[in-house]
Amino acid sequence: MTESTRDKIYAIAYFARRNTLASIAVIMLAVFAGFAVFADLIAPHDPFKSTDETFQPPSFQHVFGTDDLGRDVFSGVIYGARTSIIIGISVSVLSGLIGVIVGSTAGFAGGYLDDLLMRLTELILIPPRFFLALVIAALFGSSMVNLIVILTLTYWTTTARLVRSEVLSLKERPFVEASRAMGAREARILFREIIPNAMPVIVTNVTLMVGSVILLEAALDFIGISDGNRISWGAMLHNGQHFIRDGWWMIVFPSLALTLLVISVNVLADMLNNWLDPKSRSMQFNQSI
d(CA 261, CA 267): 10
| Rounded alpha-carbon distances, angstroms, from residue 215 to 65, 105, 232, 276 | 24, 30, 11, 26
- Least confident residue range of 5-19, 34-48, 54-68, 123-137: 5-19
Averaged confidence pLDDT in the chain? 85
Residue 8 — pLDDT band, cuts 50, 70, 90? low
**pLDDT over 50 at 271, yes or no:** yes
Tell me the whole-structure pTM to 2 decimals. Answer: 0.85
Q: What is the dihedral of CA 236, 240, 242, 248, to 10 degrees?
A: -170
d(CA 18, CA 138): 47
Q: Do the beta carbons of residue 75 and residue 45 sit within 8 Å?
A: yes
The reported pLDDT for the residue numbered 21 is 79
The reported pLDDT for the residue numbered 287 is 45
- Number of Cβ atoms within 10 Å of the Cβ of 228: 8
For the segment 187-206, the average pLDDT, to the nearest whole number, is 88
The reported pLDDT for the residue numbered 173 is 86
CA end-to-end distance (rounded Å), the chain: 18
CATH of the domain at 172: 1.10.3720.10
Q: Do the beta carbons of residue 72 and residue 66 sit within 8 Å?
A: yes
For the segment 219-235, the average pLDDT, to the nearest whole number, is 85
The reported pLDDT for the residue numbered 17 is 57
pLDDT cut 90: percent of the chain above it: 40
Instruction: For residue 44, give the nearest of 31, 26, 62, 66 by alpha carbon.
Output: 62
The reported pLDDT for the residue numbered 250 is 93
The reported pLDDT for the residue numbered 286 is 46
**pLDDT over 90 at 84, yes or no:** yes
Q: Which is higher by pLDDT, 131 or 121?
A: 121
Angle at Cα 193 formed by Cα 195 and Cα 165, nearest 5°? 45
Q: Is 285 buried (19+), middle (13-18) or exposed (0-12) by CB count in 10 A? A: middle
The reported pLDDT for the residue numbered 2 is 54
Q: How many domains does the chain have?
A: 1
Domain containing 136 equals 3-288
The reported pLDDT for the residue numbered 14 is 59
CA 150 from centre of chain: 15
For the segment 61-75, the average pLDDT, to the nearest whole number, is 90
For the segment 50-75, the average pLDDT, to the nearest whole number, is 88
For the segment 17-31, the average pLDDT, to the nearest whole number, is 82
